A = this chain, B = another copy of it.
């Protein structure tokens, strides 16, 4: 009898554990964020998640828009998948009044879509410094203003806004909220039913005192997203995220702290990485499932 050994992507090394089969209870909380298989359509992502035995998917607005929100909801429901989150709203930092109005309109549309899709959580990427501006304190305060403006709208539609603190590597151009502590300082100004936080290992693994902040977050943790910090950092900083286990993050310790905070939701694998996007999606999903049952699930 010969045994075919699976290969992890993009590492190219033999798998250390067997690929969990559909129905394996360890897969119960694993969610495929669409961005991990960025070149797949929504249909392909749903089918890939099903084939791998997943019960949950993290959706992105752009591929959803290709088929329309209603069709997307039907597909997801027929597949029996949960929608662990919808990415993404946010980009709140514009100083120009017209741009701010446009950002709020965009976010109301995203909240509406989340409601139709049955996504409890809309992920908010705060936005970076406006072009040519350097007032970080001002940009940060505009994030708070925008969340305050949107919170009632979200609450009425049973959608919770998830502020995503982002690694300081993105503070200038993508996300001015840089720590979980800072995200909680904002979220705690609102009802937990309206505003929570997104916890992503890539963004937060380095934060001093992260365990205490996770405990503080408690029920406000709306999504636990996982990918690794790899070095040397890939040349394109926006695509610098690694497959779980390929980098420096201690997923056991981090995951234990997330579990200790009371988080019982899905665990989304969200990886922006050109090599992973170039690999066959089914191999990406199989690798992430293996790494998840090896490095994350035992600590939940």
Contact = CB atoms under 8 A, between A and B. Distances in A.
Interface of A: 129, 134-137, 140, 167-169, 171-173, 176, 178-179, 181-182, 185, 205-208, 229, 231-233, 235-237, 247-250, 253
Nearest to A250: B134
Contact of A208 (B169, B173, B179, B236): B179
- The copy count of this chain in the complex is 2
A181 B169 contact: no
By secondary structure, the A interface counts as loop
B231 A173 contact: yes
A172 to B, nearest CB: 4
29 contacts: A134-B249, A134-B250, A135-B250, A135-B253, A136-B205, A140-B208, A167-B168, A167-B169, A168-B168, A168-B169, A168-B206, A168-B207, A169-B169, A171-B205, A171-B206, A172-B206, A172-B229, A172-B231, A172-B247, A173-B231, A173-B232, A176-B206, A178-B206, A178-B207, A178-B208, A181-B208, A232-B236, A235-B235, A237-B237
Contacts of A135: 250, 253
Contacts of A236: 232
A231 B171 CA distance: 10
Contacts of A136: 205-206, 250
Nearest to A135: B250
Contacts of A137: 253
A2 B182 CA distance: 54
B248 A237 contact: no
B233 A169 contact: yes
A102 B168 CA distance: 33
Nearest to A238: B232
A181 B178 CA distance: 14
Given A168-B169, A169-B169, A248-B129, A208 B233 contact: no
A235 B237 CA distance: 8
Contacts of A169: 167-169, 233
Contacts of A172: 206, 229, 231, 247-248
A235 B137 CA distance: 28
A230 to B, nearest CB: 8
A127 to B, nearest CB: 13
A250 B140 CA distance: 14
Contact of A237 (B178, B233, B250): B233
Contacts of A207: 168, 178
A183 to B, nearest CB: 10
Contacts of A173: 231-232
Which 6 A-B pairs rank lowest in CB-CB distance, beginning with the nearest?
A: A235-B235, A171-B206, A134-B250, A172-B248, A168-B206, A182-B208
A181 B212 CA distance: 15
Contacts of A247: 172
A248 B178 contact: no
Contacts of A129: 248
